[in-house]
Amino acid sequence: MEWIAIAIGIAVAGFFIGEGIKNVGKGSDQASLASFKSLFENQDQFIKEKHLHDFLGISKEDAQSIAQKYPDIPHVTINGNIYYPKAKLRQWLNNL
């Protein structure tokens, strides 16, 4: 008799788990999921300070020198970390 109760419990749990899986990504969670995904999709549009030399094709020392010599170089500072937006950096380089 107890096996029947266990079987019914497993069936009910399976039903609720299945319904929960069908509703993942619907409703209010959809907006937060989209903003989370867009954050990572745009991540490749910025260059970390330590990778600026790779983007410019020059040595690390030369990249540091340029960043110091030209304070108007397009950049964003977040929590003490410097990031360079690729599109604006390309435009800035073309205007030199």
pLDDT in tens, 48-60: 999 999 989 999 9
Q: State how far the Cα of 52 lies from the Cα of 83, in Å rounded to an integer.
A: 9
d(CA 60, CA 52): 8
Does this model's pTM top 0.85? My answer is no
Q: Which residue has the higher pLDDT, 38 or 84?
A: 84
Q: Do residues 45 and 83 touch, judged by C-beta distance below 8 A?
A: no
Residue 88 parent element (H or E): helix 86-94
Domains of the chain (ranges, CATH numbers): 45-94 (1.10.10)
Instruction: Give percent above pLDDT 70 in the chain.
Output: 59
Q: Are 51 and 82 in contact (CB under 8 A)?
A: no
Strand ranges across the sheet with 76-78: 46-48, 81-85, 76-78
